[in-house]
Structure 1
Amino acid sequence: MNNKNPISLFLIFLFIYPILKGFIKKYNTKDIKWELSEFEKSVSALLALIFGFLVFKNYFLVRENGIFTYIPQKVILVLDAYPWLLYVIVLPILGLFFYQIFHLTFLLVNSIILFPLLDIVERFLKNRSILFKRITGAIAELPKSMCNVVFFIFILNFASILNISPKLNTLLEESNIYTNLCKQIVIPVTNSKLAKALPNIVDNSFKVKIQDDNGIGTWEDIKKYKNISLNKNKQIVYYNGITLEEGIRSNEEINNYAKHITAGQNTDRAKARTLYAWIGSNINYDDDKAQQILNNDFSSKSGSIITFNTKKGICFDYACLYVSMSKAVGLKVRMVTGEGYNGISWVSHAWNQVYLEDEDKWINVDPTFYKGGNYFNSRRFELDHKNPKIIGEW
């Protein structure tokens, strides 16, 4: 990561500029009141963004809450087909609603409390030195500096969710300042269960290497992989240091256990969901291994067997184990690679698709994201998964 990228530099500028301006102009009640009025608008917008997103997330993204029972079925079908419409229509409406509430509240607070206090401060500073007034002016701008940075962090986060630009997403990934502020501010505010449950999935902890006649080439981002046409006779693909065949290798213990926990399930959907729930709830995300992979250290073993035995792994391991257990109970299954949204940015990721023969369809399954919500054929799956590439089918 690089703190000198444009995102980091702009965030630093947003923080420093108001403070420098306050120091140069010195404390002036008239100017501060005007600044406070502008600051109030920014705070109102920020709070509207936060509260609007929380309502949006809890009542529109999570369909189980029942709000969609009041929406015509035709509208629901459109939203299912184009889930991004929720972001560009519903979210702005909620934001405008909350903005008006906070804006009116701050107007009352300013006129009744803050403006009279500023008049008192001005009288206190009347006979003070110019340097003291400059320092006071700089301090008075500190809340605005902080609000500017936080507001822009949320704007960047929403831009990242909407995947406006792959280049922007790369810049966000490489910015230590943006990433750390998201971990400290955005994730706690938005209450992202996924980011809290899987802290190191914030980074690209899924690495791919290709070995061919020219040696081994490393891809730092799985996005590049989808543009490569593989010649299976000349090239070998390694995922976190192993081949796909090694990753999905199973044993009698895994096979028997998969059959045991799905015993009595009469449909493919029930079997597939049981395996998804068991893996998601019993396998813990391996933060140490994720960090090793980030550092191109593949000394820790990967794949179904080690994951089943140790009850821990990262996304590729979760997906491998799901393949092995699905095969054991007679389900057709795929391994899929692409990108997942972790609450901060899009990162390299692996998940599965499973075929429901009695329903004649493939559905998406992501056992890694289990602890962050419902990712078994979830209606919002496409909102935080993109660029899927099927790398194996069994």
Structure 2
Amino acid sequence: MKVNPVTIFIIVCFVYPLLKGFLFKFSSYDLKRDWEGVVNSVAFIVAIFIGIRYSKKLFSMENINKLYSFLPANIYSFVEKKPMVLYFVLIPILVYLIYIIIRTLFNFINRLIFYRLFDGIDRMISNKSSIVKRLLGAIVQIPRSICYVITVLFVLNILSMVNLNKNLNGYLQSSEVYGYLCKQVILPVTSSNLAKKLPSIIDNSFKIVYKQKDTISVPDSNDSSNSVDNGKTIVYYNGVTLDEGVASDSQIDNFAKNLVLNEVGTESKARKIYEWIGNNISYDYNKANLVLNNDYDVKSGAIYTFNTRKGICFDYSCLYVAMARANNMKVRLVTGQGFNGVSWVSHAWNQVYIPESGKWINVDTTFAKGGNYFNKAMFSMDHKDAKIIGEW
């Protein structure tokens, strides 16, 4: 069985303080010194929770318009094109300021309550056996172990988001311990509705297969370089060709036209289609598991998704193409990678052209269950390596 280094590292971070506490036994003097470190760690973690959660709202593109309206336009443009600057400049500053305030408050409570409690415990167990002191020494280190693990999770999550190392992203993606803890601890902080809904509905369930001269090859799931049209290669997306995937019928066409009948303007129509798909198509967990295990004996595409009201990211995107085309809207199908809060995974979404503004806007109907992903500001925060595989 292959050992996942990320899983091992998380376990070691949790066990190390417990082992240290067991070996050195309980003492009031040592515990006070250790507890100060625990309090600082807790203050830091709380600061991260508050800082990341509320800085995302503070530095949303809507608020940036208000906060930085007095700055040159190039500042706005820079932040819009490079949203990660929020993580490495603005958010750390905010987190540090919150940390100083919380640490000061915690240390006051620490000296007022906990130091006296530790002295009392020390007197109570002074005549106890060595094993009791060792066990107690390990027990009081549990808060520090938890702090270590949470801190490591935050660091790994940020590294995953930045995607500095392909191998690391693979280890994070395959670590069940990291994935579970991220979903329980980190994701509810880094994003709200998206965190609660996306982690359970998106994984590497979008697969591309090339067939050439009776040979089939499955590329790396993290490789978005999928343009291989040389006339001799057939590209299959989750078991179907692109043309098969976006194929429509009269039922879809009529429904799509009636859906936007009262909408005025291309953007309003595009949003109506986005909202309908996002609200009415359910994620197909069984199909996702089959594709994850390279089982392509599945049905995919717009017609199947519309009839069954379920699908995975490629199906959502195909249906959006079909419904947009029914209304004579220019639309694209895009493949790349999406950040599901744990790691970057293969993903598919759309772009639709708004002639009134002369712009292509991003649309992700799969992510719609976790928030507004219609022309979302800073779309590149959780989407990258975009590659247009079809335009109509």
Bin the TM-score by the shorter chain.
Answer: over 0.9
**Aligned-pair Cα RMSD in Å:** 1.8
Instruction: Note the C-alpha offset of 1:191.
Output: 4.7
Q: Equivalences for 1:236-251 in 2 at 5 Å?
A: 236-251=234-249
SS at match of 2:294: coil
Which of 378, 381, 392 matches 1:380? 378
Deviations 1:131-189 (A, max 9, x none): 11111111111111111001110121122223333332222112111101011211233
What is the alpha-carbon distance in structure 2 between the residues aligned to residue 269 and residue 229 of structure 1?
29
Moved more, 212-221 or 333-342: 212-221
Confirm or deny that 1:204 pairs with 2:204: yes
Instruction: Note the C-alpha offset of 1:120.
Output: 0.7
Moved more, 84-93 or 288-297: 288-297
Instruction: Note the C-alpha offset of 1:214.
Output: 5.2
SS at match of 1:43: helix
| Match of residue 71 from structure 1 | 68
| Match of residue 111 from structure 2 | 111
What is the alpha-carbon distance in structure 1 between the residues aligned to residue 348 and residue 22 of structure 2?
51
| Match of residue 56 from structure 1 | 55
What is the alpha-carbon distance in structure 2 between the residues aligned to residue 32 and residue 3 of structure 1?
38
| Match of residue 166 from structure 1 | 166
Deviations 1:38-87 (A, max 9, x none): 111111111111110011122223x44x4642322533333213212221
What is the alpha-carbon distance in structure 2 between the residues aligned to residue 183 and residue 347 of structure 1?
15
| Match of residue 178 from structure 1 | 178
Which of 280, 283, 291 matches 1:282? 280
What is the alpha-carbon distance in structure 1 between the residues aligned to residue 64 and residue 217 of structure 2?
50
| Match of residue 15 from structure 2 | 16
What is the alpha-carbon distance in structure 1 between the residues aligned to residue 87 and residue 49 of structure 2?
14
Query: TM-score normalised to the size of structure 2?
Result: 0.94
Which 5+ residue runs of structure 1 have no aligned equivalent?
A: none
State whether residues 224 and 335 of structure 2, in contact with CA within 8 Å, keep that contact through their aligned partners in structure 1.
Answer: no
Confirm or deny that 1:352 pairs with 2:387: no
What is the alpha-carbon distance in structure 2 between the residues aligned to residue 335 and residue 148 of structure 1?
42
Instruction: Note the C-alpha offset of 1:289.
Output: 2.0
SS at match of 2:366: helix
State whether residues 335 and 392 of structure 1, in contact with CA within 8 Å, keep that contact through their aligned partners in structure 2.
Answer: yes
SS at match of 1:200: coil
Query: TM-score normalised to the size of structure 1?
Result: 0.94
| Match of residue 231 from structure 2 | 233
What is the alpha-carbon distance in structure 2 between the residues aligned to residue 114 and residue 289 of structure 1?
53
Which 5+ residue runs of structure 2 have no aligned equivalent?
A: none
State whether residues 199 and 342 of structure 2, in contact with CA within 8 Å, keep that contact through their aligned partners in structure 1.
Answer: no
Deviations 1:350-392 (A, max 9, x none): 0011112232221111111112222111111011100011111
Count of residue pairs the alignment pairs up: 389
State whether residues 16 and 145 of structure 1, in contact with CA within 8 Å, keep that contact through their aligned partners in structure 2.
Answer: yes
Confirm or deny that 1:41 pairs with 2:40: yes
| Match of residue 299 from structure 1 | 297
